[in-house]
């Protein structure tokens, strides 16, 4: 619980997994004085009202923006430009405008031109999520111990960056600052390429003639099911990510394809030593991730044995 | 708890994740009268003794086999042939010989020629596991609600197959029967190709110049960390899998590569509709897997929030 709210009024534009988690966390920690939320559809807005975790739900992006000290766009990357255009005339002098988009180069390019000079634009990306989406999917703990990357353009007011850093820190995250370009490369390998590959292999498995979908599902515990979780993520969000971070993803994909060819050649030639050496090397990075608290050390992610029938 | 043990004496040759889980489960359920275990190294044998979950630990595969009613080889696929040769002269008349290897064609080819006519050979593969290995990694619940695939050669005694089925059922598994060839195709897509891809991308991430390993680890919560779990699996086991199921894996890899090229082309051309359509289709298979109880429905696998600091 912070002593005094960091911002008087927070406006959340879009209320899905990320917007909903920010609202729950900010309220739980008392980080802002008031939360105003909106979403595109009347259905989502009605649901947010029902959930009772924000102070006001309004019908338009413009209304949400009026008088807000911090405005966070929590919509798919491809929608950021048009939302920025809508809110621009309503932004309060000195307000901070931010977002949570998974791509930063394109988002900065789409948002920045619309904003008036007297507001501060500090783009952000919390590297945290689940495969679920919508207003019910959020939870207050989502950002705890996860990193939030800020990519302020050159010349951004340092005090505004510090205030946004304080906001993310207050809801549990650790903050790092980098350029949009570097962000997009880092995320291409740590998030976007893994999703592309997962979407691909799940599609492949679904189309095979010799092995049925029912067999794929039954015997998925051998590794495949891990990929299906990722490939169950929101299609709109991921379409936008691949359309807007194409160059970095293609670059990483090029290296991945070369590496896959190398391992395939080793397998084809029966080169057990090369396979063994590669499979040994890859263990270190897992150990590192567990050590720095970015994943659970429990076997199998500590998957809930909810379906275990103890007799 | 079964009324009467299904087998008098069970011999486990190899005591790692799978052998150790069988021992714990069989003991907990009272499925066998006595468990005798052995492992290659004195270190593992000493540890098994300490754990106190089997009745006897012996030094050699031959000794373990003497007088056993069910002998299960729980060693890497590549070691099955030589172990079969060692135990063959010691097999009791009418004993059932089985294994747990992740590949079945090669294992049958390597084991069968060594076995005397008066024993029953019923190869098996429990489709269950974690990324850990060694005598301490096993647990009694591993096989609950997971499938165990039996691949008895043509002409195998039906009563022997039934007894092995009863054994796996008693320790929680569901049993399916198929040919070794079909098994190897099914597992190539549900387990072996996912591992190959995970091993590849984790290797790729580790070698990049522009993005450091430290960045890869810090920002791994965007999806990458799921792959590192799989790529932390035992190198010996996986070397053997790829050396012995090469053909089926190469076949699945061919289809995967075509599908990856298709998605890459859609991304390159900016074809959002094709991406959206693909990303929507892949959600169904996840739903199916959760519905049939082969994965947890909890977001993010219900990953333990052990590192969550609630303040
Ligand atoms: N999911 C993750 O794991 C994750 C992680 C980090 C960052 N992000 C980023 O966070 C942002 C939101 O993702 P999310 O997972 O919270 O998505 P979500 O659960 O699907 O919610 C998206 C919200 O945006 C609204 N919206 C969708 N399309 C819109 C449009 N064209 N114009 C205006 N509003 C629109 C939706 O309104 P309706 O409900 O009315 O349709 C909904 O309120 C994305 O930019 C994504 O890249 C996601
Ligand atoms: N791990 C999985 O997820 C999984 C799932 C289903 C099936 N399987 C299959 O189960 C089998 C065992 O896997 P695991 O995960 O239990 O492995 P593990 O934990 O590494 O244990 C392997 C055991 O085999 C022994 N061993 C290793 N190399 C040997 C050799 N050349 N000759 C004789 N013994 C040897 C080891 O002895 P020391 O301890 O003395 O070295 C150890 O006792 C493999 O065939 C694998 O394909 C594994």
Q: pLDDT tens digits for B101-116?
A: 999 999 999 999 999 9
CA distance B183 to B195: 17
Order of strands across the sheet that contains B7-13: B56-57, B32-38, B7-13, B70-73, B96-99, B120-121
Query: For chain B, give me the number of helices (H) and strands (E)?
Result: 13, 9
CA distance A254 to B268: 13
Structure tokens at B43: 């270190």
Question: Does B310 have pLDDT greater than 50?
Answer: no
**Straight-line distance from the first to the last Cα atom of chain B, in angstroms, rounded to the nearest whole number:** 44
Order of strands across the sheet that contains B124-126: B124-126, B147-150, B174-177
**Ligand 1 atom 9: the closest Cα is on which residue?**
A101
Residues in chain A with CB shorter than 8 Å from the CB of B235 are: 275-276, 279-280, 283
Mean pLDDT over A271-283 rounds to 97
Order of strands across the sheet that contains A70-73: A56-57, A32-38, A7-13, A70-73, A96-99, A120-121
Query: Which B residues, 282 through 311, put their C-beta within 8 Å of a C-beta on chain A?
Result: 282-289, 292-310
Point out which residues pair with B72 in neighbouring strands.
B12, B98
Q: Where are the domains of chain B?
A: 7-178, 182-292
Rounded to the nearest angstrom, the minimum Cα separation between A251 and chain B is 11
Q: pLDDT tens digits for A140-179?
A: 999 999 999 999 999 999 999 999 999 999 999 999 999 9
Confidence grade of residue A3 (pLDDT, cut at 50, 70, 90): low
* Domain A7-178, CATH among 3.30.365.10, 1.10.1530.10, 3.10.290.10, 3.40.50.720: 3.40.50.720
Cβ pair A229:B292 closer than 8 A: no
Instruction: Count CB atoms within 10 A of the CB of residue A297.
Output: 15
Query: Within its chain, how far is the Cα of B243 from the centroid?
Result: 16
Q: pLDDT tens digits for B117-157?
A: 999 999 999 999 999 999 999 999 999 999 999 999 999 99
> Which of B23, B6, B3, B4 lies closest to B14 in space, CA to CA?
B23
Structure tokens at B88: 């063959």
Residue A300 three-state SS = helix
CA distance A308 to B293: 9
pLDDT value of residue B305: 59
Query: Which A residues, 71 through 100, put their C-beta within 8 Å of a C-beta on chain B?
Result: none
Rounded to the nearest angstrom, the minimum Cα separation between A205 and chain B is 7
pLDDT value of residue B227: 97
Q: pLDDT tens digits for B251-271?
A: 999 999 999 999 999 999 999
CA distance B107 to B127: 16
Q: Are strands B147-150 and B124-126 parallel, antiparallel or unpaired?
A: antiparallel
Q: Which CATH architecture has domain A182-295?
A: Orthogonal Bundle (1.10)
Point out which residues pair with A96 in neighbouring strands.
A70, A120
Q: Specify the CATH number of the domain B182-292.
A: 1.10.3660.10
Q: Output the average pLDDT for chain A.
A: 95
Residues in chain A with CB shorter than 8 Å from the CB of B206 are: 281-282, 284-285
Structure tokens at B237: 């086991």
Q: In which residue are the tokens 């079945």 written?
A: B104
Give the relative orientation of helices B158-170 and B17-29 as an angle to the nearest 10 degrees.
80
Q: Which regions of A14-123 does DSSP assign to beta strands (E)?
A: 32-38, 56-57, 70-73, 96-99, 120-121
Q: Which residue of A301, A306, A311 is the best one to mutate when testing the B interface, meaning the one whose CB has the most B CBs within 10 A?
A: A301
Chain A interface includes B205 (CB < 8 A):
yes
> Which of B273, B309, B194 lies closest to A293 in space, CA to CA?
B309
Confidence grade of residue B303 (pLDDT, cut at 50, 70, 90): confident
Question: Ligand 1: distance of its center to the CA of A255 in Å?
Answer: 30
Domains A7-178 and A182-295 share a fold: no
Instruction: Kindly indicate whether the ipTM for this predicted assembly is greater than 0.90, answering yes or no.
Output: yes
Torsion of CA B229, B233, B238, B242, to 10 degrees: 0
Structure tokens at B200: 């590849």
**Straight-line distance from the first to the last Cα atom of chain A, in angstroms, rounded to the nearest whole number:** 44
Order of strands across the sheet that contains A147-150: A124-126, A147-150, A174-177
């Amino acid at each position: 619980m912070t002593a005094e709210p960091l911002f008087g009024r927070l406006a959340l534009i879009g209320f899905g997994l990320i917007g909903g988690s920010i609202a729950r966390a900010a309220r739980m920690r008392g980080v802002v004085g008031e939360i105003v939320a909106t979403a595109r559809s009347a259905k989502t807005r009605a649901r947010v009202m029902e959930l009772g975790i924000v102070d006001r739900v309004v019908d338009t992006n413009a209304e949400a923006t009026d008088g807000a000290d911090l405005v966070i766009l929590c919509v798919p990357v491809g929608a950021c430009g048009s939302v920025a255009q809508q809110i621009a005339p309503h932004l309060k002098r000195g307000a901070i405008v931010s977002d949570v988009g998974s791509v930063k180069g394109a988002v900065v390019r789409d948002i920045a031109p619309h904003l008036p000079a007297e507001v501060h634009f500090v783009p952000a990306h919390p590297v945290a999520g689940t495969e679920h989406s919508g207003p019910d999917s959020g939870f207050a703990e989502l950002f705890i111990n996860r990193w939030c990357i800020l990519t302020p353009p050159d010349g951004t007011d340092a005090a505004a960056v510090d205030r946004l850093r304080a906001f993310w820190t207050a809801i549990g995250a650790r903050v790092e600052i980098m350029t949009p370009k570097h962000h997009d490369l880092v995320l291409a390998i740590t998030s976007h390429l893994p999703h592309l590959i997962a979407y691909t292999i799940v599609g492949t498995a679904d189309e095979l003639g010799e092995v049925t979908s029912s067999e794929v599902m039954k015997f998925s515990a051998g590794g495949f099911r891990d990929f299906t979780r990722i490939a169950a993520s929101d299609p709109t969000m991921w379409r936008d990510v691949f359309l807007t971070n194409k160059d970095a993803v293609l670059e990483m994909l090029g290296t991945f394809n070369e590496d896959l060819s190398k391992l395939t050649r080793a397998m084809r030639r029966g080169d057990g030593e090369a396979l063994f050496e590669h499979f040994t090397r890859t263990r270190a990075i897992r150990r590192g991730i567990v050590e720095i608290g970015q994943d659970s050390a429990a076997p199998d992610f500590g998957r809930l044995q909810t379906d275990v029938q103890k007799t």
